[in-house]
Homo-oligomer: A and B are copies of this chain.
Amino acid sequence: MALKLYDLAGAEPERRFSPYCWRTKFALLHKGLPFETIPWRFTDKGVIAFSKQGSVPVLVDGDHVVSDSWAIANYLEDTYADRPSLFRGEGGRAVTKFINAWADGLNGALAPLIVSDIFGLLDDKDRTYFRETREKRFGTTLETVGANRDADVLAWRKLLQPLRAVLGAHPYLGGATPAYADYAVFGCFQWARCVSPFRLLLEDDPVWAWRGRLLSAFDSYAGKAIGYPV
């Protein structure tokens, strides 16, 4: 039986833009597990109340319910230990957790640059919730939060330096083949791609080529997703 994943969506059911859900989708693809996704909106709290919290991703695997992308990755690694490893051993799990937390910070730094583009793509029922929570978080209106993004993206690109150090020597953070460390970071770029025409990367950046490899991975699962060709 296919696993079920509650996956953040916009007004269009197929616009799936959560960076954390992208991590989980790639983890499922990496493990080769069949799964179906269920479009979910920010205000559908009741729909996932069975998970005892209010955010996606939520994974349902038979009787097992797991939320939080890192917990899901660990669940998949341990439950499907006979399938390709996401972490490649216990040492790999710890260093991957490091990169996962670093990528959380990258998401946080990216949010002000793209959050204004998200609003217009949301289902009507999510808009008030989104505006209120994000304007509180950023301390300003959605219309002004990304006003300096042409300049701010230059500082954001500097945060990518550890990525570039690896990608000059290896095709993936996982080495010769991708691993969960790649998916954790890729979620950030795919989030942006799904919601914003704003250009994050320059084509001569090794991160650009790496992102392209992941867009093509798993029969272009991410590359085929609704988004902007940037």
Binding site for B on A (CB under 8 A): 88-102, 104-105, 161-166, 169-170, 172-177, 179, 181
Contact = CB atoms under 8 A, between A and B. Distances in A.
30 contacts: A88-B89, A88-B92, A89-B175, A90-B176, A91-B92, A91-B175, A91-B176, A92-B92, A92-B95, A92-B175, A93-B170, A93-B175, A94-B166, A94-B172, A94-B175, A95-B96, A95-B98, A95-B99, A95-B175, A95-B179, A97-B169, A98-B99, A98-B162, A98-B165, A98-B166, A98-B173, A98-B181, A101-B165, A102-B162, A104-B165
Contacts of A99: 95, 98-99, 162
A173 B95 contact: yes
Contacts of A172: 94
Contacts of A88: 88-89, 91-92
Contacts of A181: 95, 98
Contacts of A92: 88-89, 91-92, 95, 175
Contact of A179 (B91, B97, B164): B91
Quick one: copies of this chain in the complex? 2
B161 A94 contact: no
A189 B142 CA distance: 40
Contacts of A165: 97-98, 100-101, 104
Contacts of A101: 161-162, 164-166
Contact of A97 (B90, B91, B170): B170
A162 B103 CA distance: 9
A169 B176 CA distance: 27
A199 to B, nearest CB: 24
A179 to B, nearest CB: 6
Nearest to A102: B162
